[in-house]
Structure 1
Amino acid sequence: MANNNGQATFDAAFKSQEFFDKNKKILLGAIIAVVVIVAGYFCYSAFIGGPREEKASTALARGQEYFNAEQFDKALNGDGAGYTGFVKIADDYSSTDAGNLAKLYAGLSYAYLGKWSDAVKYLEDYSPKGDAMVSPAAIEALGNAYAHVGQIDKAVSKLQEAADKADDKAEDGANNSLSPIFRLQAGELLESQGKKADALKVYQDIKKKYVNSQLVQSNEIDKYIERASN
């Protein structure tokens, strides 16, 4: 019952479909932006990681194509024509980098399909790396998945962690594109719990730290500050 109540709160606060539709575009954009880099990495690792890594990365490549084409069922479960799916790749090659990335893609695919418990499972199993884009986006995705299954405290924590990770890789310690969005989501979740003071602090921190972000330059963040102040 507690999970149901948490989900109802989340839905009411965010008009959840509209909220996720907006954020999934950001998330997908972050993933697509590094697909070429990721593919290049696996081409390299194929020469130094041995036959197992090479086989796993080759299997993953077809799934990435289905994912980018938003054919999520095929991406997850295979196409019956030689590609076995992210789920099987993640299971069969769990010890490889490609198998780890398959967990991320599986989690994201389940999220797009609205299968949030499955999304949580695979996103929790994914091990973030030290990159500036994919790992923060993956942590943010887990935060959103937690929110959709009513685990709001975990969601807030992961969204803040995602922002921190993005900031760690920024030259000036402030990623003005990703981090303000992640923190804004955290603030909105705090508001949905009635924690207006905590939400207000998040919004004020956004305005202070991310001065070059669109949220601040457009004065959009001021609306959130005003709302949380009342």
Structure 2
Amino acid sequence: MANKNEKATFDAAGKSEAFFTKYRNVILGAVAAIILVVAAVVCYNTFIGGPREDKASTALARGQEYFNAEQFDKALNGDGAGYAGFVKIASDYGSTDAGNLANLYAGLCYYYLGKAKEAVNYLEKYSPASDAMVSPAAVAALGNAYAAVGQLDKAVSKLKDAASKADSESKDGANNSLSPTFLLQAGELLESQNKTDEALKVYQDIKKKYVNSMLVQSNEIDKYIERTTK
């Protein structure tokens, strides 16, 4: 029984990783919007905030450059040339907005470096805000990290939360780009646990709610619905 459970966990984690890789640009694109958030933070510091926040934001900017260039190890641990790394920034400036973002970046870097446990640790420390892109993507990233370490129920829950968060910030209550992606992965994880009925409901909800999404307009979601109704 233990071997079967371990195999199921491994298979589910593998599917999650493959899915995250497939939709990597979607999620990374959302996280890239953090740059705009940081810009706003810097403006705030210029007129209102104190030097501690400003110093943290300045340090974070260099790490963003490494992150965007996919130099995740340097972004995480520093470059030995004045940039300390997201881990250090998160530790030294944890009480600042920039320090909070450093937790998110550190978690993402660990995930892409294949260190899911460390990714979970930092992504759990990140405090999401109320925005339509960055926070939902961050919550979804935590869901992916949970899946990678075999915590599938938590993974599904976080992916659903990410979709809900994205929808809550959309004008019509349906984020047709991010939410279907997050929910589709939740459905696949449910399938991997043999929770077919739950997965089917997720797929049906996608088709009903996100009519302008590529998944629905391309009829891709119908394949998932058909698969779970056999």
TM-score bracket relative to the smaller structure: over 0.9
TM-score, reference length from structure 1: 0.94
How far off is 1:26 after superposition?
1.5
**Contact kept? 1:45, 1:53, Cα under 8 Å:** no
1:174 matched residue in structure 2: 174
Answer 1 or 2: higher relative contact order, Cα 8 Å, separation at least 6: 2
How far off is 1:204 after superposition?
0.4
Gaps of 5+ in 1: none
How far off is 1:179 after superposition?
0.3
Alpha-carbon distance in structure 1 between the residues aligned to 2:207 and 2:160: 15
Residue 7, structure 1, aligned to residue 9, structure 2: yes
Q: What CA deviation, in whole Å up to 9, does each residue of 1:3-59 have, x standing for no partner?
A: 8445313146x2x55323112221111122x14412321221222110100010011
The 5 Å alignment of 1:79-228 reads 79-228=79-228
2:49 matched residue in structure 1: 49
Q: Which amino acid aligns with 1:166?
A: A
**Contact kept? 1:6, 1:152, Cα under 8 Å:** no
Count residues with an aligned counterpart. Answer: 227
Q: Which amino acid aligns with 2:36?
A: I
Gaps of 5+ in 2: none
Alpha-carbon distance in structure 1 between the residues aligned to 2:143 and 2:23: 12
Residue 68, structure 1, aligned to residue 64, structure 2: no
Alpha-carbon distance in structure 1 between the residues aligned to 2:17 and 2:94: 32
RMSD of aligned Cα (Å): 1.5
Alpha-carbon distance in structure 2 between the residues aligned to 1:9 and 1:152: 11
How far off is 1:144 after superposition?
0.4
Give the fraction of aligned pairs with identical amino acids, expressed as a percent: 69
